[in-house]
Structure 1
């Protein structure tokens, strides 16, 4: 039973990664085209999924109804006394 564990782990990891890759929109895939990622995931049992998770998967997903975070959204946090919108509503 213990001898089957690495093969079972590789299969589960490949299936999970393959589903994630197929569901990712084409324009969000990094590194290689999506079709190439599918072949890499299928041909290399451990390296393919690892490559997808570290180099091919998008960094952030948008929540439904909200745009993806961009560089303009990375402002330093401000306290309520520095926020003019907050002060205006007092």
Structure 2
């Protein structure tokens, strides 16, 4: 079993590794109070004190361990709606005609699927 000294050492190493990885993955312009390389040197030379200083004074504000969508590619929601020349009815009569043709086509596809030919 780990005694207080051993547990303290494990916690120190865990904080040190977490802070090093956090500094390395933080974008250059987001670090507060020191440049990124300055924080890296402080945490490398003073493991516990540097790590606590990074967490308090250097880490970007509003940083959470998990940010939904942070690592996902940004894609447009419905690119077909942004397509030039997309059908948009200029008047209600043209819209009704378009909807009527859609219904006829859907009914024809249903008949073909049932085998009514």
Q: How does 1:8-87 map to 2 (within 5 A)?
A: 8-61=10-63, 64=70
Which one has more relative contact order, counting CA pairs under 8 Å at least 6 apart?
1
Q: In the TM superposition, what is the alpha-carbon distance from 1:45 to its structure 2 partner?
A: 2.1
Q: Which ranges in structure 2 are unaligned for 5 or more consecutive residues?
A: 75-117
In structure 2, distance between residues paired with 1:25 and 1:37: 13
- RMSD of aligned residue pairs (Cα, Å): 1.7
TM-score, reference length from structure 1: 0.63
Aligned residues: 65
Segment drifting more, 55-64 vs 17-26? 55-64
Q: Which ranges in structure 1 are unaligned for 5 or more consecutive residues?
A: 66-90
| Match of residue 80 from structure 1 | none
**What SS class does the counterpart of residue 4 from structure 1 fall into?**
helix
Q: Which runs of 4+ in 1 moved over 4 A?
A: none
1:42-87 per-residue CA deviation (whole Å, 9 max, x = no partner) reads 211221011111111110257646xxxxxxxxxxxxxxxxxxxxxx
TM-score, reference length from structure 2: 0.50
**Structure with max Cα Rg:** 2
Which has more helix, going by share of residues?
2
